[in-house]
Chain A
Amino acid sequence: EVRLVESGGRLVRPGGSLRLSCAPSGFIFSSYNMNWVRQAPGKGLEWLSYISSAGSTVYYADSVRGRFTISRDNAKNSLYLQLSSLRADDTAVYYCARDGGHGVTLFGEVIPRPNWFDTWGQGTLVTVSS
């Protein structure tokens, strides 16, 4: 069974830091691009970040660029999201999501980029509050 399990969410003070982890199983992790998506309480979905299968290409949403860092360790079968300079509006459930595509083909070259999110974890709650 293809599965993703997030961990690391907790209550943190404004300005604090946190590292989220995502543990995949049931598929060859190193072959897939991965993403982080969050959902604030009662709100919609917001894509945050993408990392290619080898970790060589990363993208961020403007709202988190410079504060969040995505990374992966294929040898340890793990995906991470380092959160820093946290604010109250970062309070959300954070999901890791496997990318079902392999990028976009332009002029015969495959450009790694987010496509569709075919597998999601159960989410981990980050609460930023004093």
Chain B
Amino acid sequence: DVQMTQSPPSLSASVGDRVTITCQASQDITNYINWYQQKPGKAPKLLIHDASRLETGVPSRFSGSGSGTGFSFTISSLQPEDIATYYCQQYDSIPPTFGQGTRLEIK
């Protein structure tokens, strides 16, 4: 299985900060990576697919980049409603696998 190593496991930042989360794949996954947001007690929500393609309705402060084995997810200006856990997920091979998650808190 492809291992997705996500970092950091947790992150504390202030409103307005630029926040970056990274995911390292254990093998080349081209650009087959997606990013999800999960708020406490809620189902995950797809934000980005194919490394950088923003889902309809998702604010433009969210972005993704990378290819091969190294990927990043960025919130350009952190908002209070962005408090959540974020997951990366690869689909280059079966089974699709998720990173361990990054818990984002407001400082």
Please choose the segment from B15-23, B38-46, B73-81 that sits at the chain A interface, where 4 or more of its residues have CB less than 8 A away.
B38-46
For the residues of B in contact with A, the DSSP-based class is loop
Closest to B42 in A: A122
Q: Which residue of A lies closest to B92 (CB)?
A: A104
Count chain A CB atoms within 10 A of each CB in B46, B91, B96, B97 and give the residue with the most.
B96
User: Which of A16-24, A41-49, A70-78, A83-91 lines the interface with chain B?
Assistant: A41-49
Count of chain A residues with Cβ under 8 Å from any Cβ of B?
22
The distance from the CB of B59 to the nearest CB of chain A, in whole angstroms, is 17
In the bound complex, what is the Cα–Cα distance between A75 and B96 (angstroms)?
A: 28
Residues of A within 8 A of B99 (CB): 44
Cβ-neighbour of B95 out of A62, A119, A123 (below 8 A): A62
Is A95 engaged at the interface, CB distance under 8 Å to the other chain? yes
Q: Mark B80-97, 1 if CB is under 8 A from A, else 0.
A: 000000010101001111
- A-side binding surface: helix, strand, loop or mixed? loop
- Chain A residues with CB under 8 Å of B45's CB are 120
Interface string of A21-59 (1 = CB under 8 A from B): 000000000000000000000001111001000000001
Is B34 close to A, CB under 8 A?
Answer: yes
Known contacts A44-B87, A44-B101; is-contact A114 B43 (Cβ 8 Å): no
Chain A residue at smallest Cβ distance from B87: A45
**Pairwise interchain contact B87-A61, C-beta atoms closer than 8 A:** no
Q: Is the CB of A44 within 8 A of B43?
A: no
Contact B46 A46 (CB under 8 A): no
Provide the bound-state CA to CA distance between A116 and B98, in Å: 11
Name the CB-closest residue of A to B38: A45
Q: Which residues of B contact A116 (CB under 8 A)?
A: 34, 46, 49-50, 89, 91
Of residues 44 through 60 on chain B, the ones whose CB sits less than 8 Å from some CB of chain A are 44-46, 49-50, 55
- Of B49, B94, B98, the residue contacting A45 (CB under 8 A) is B98
Binding site for A on B (CB under 8 A): 34, 36, 38, 42-46, 49-50, 55, 87, 89, 91, 94-101
The 4 closest A-B pairs by CB, nearest first: A120-B43, A116-B49, A116-B34, A45-B98
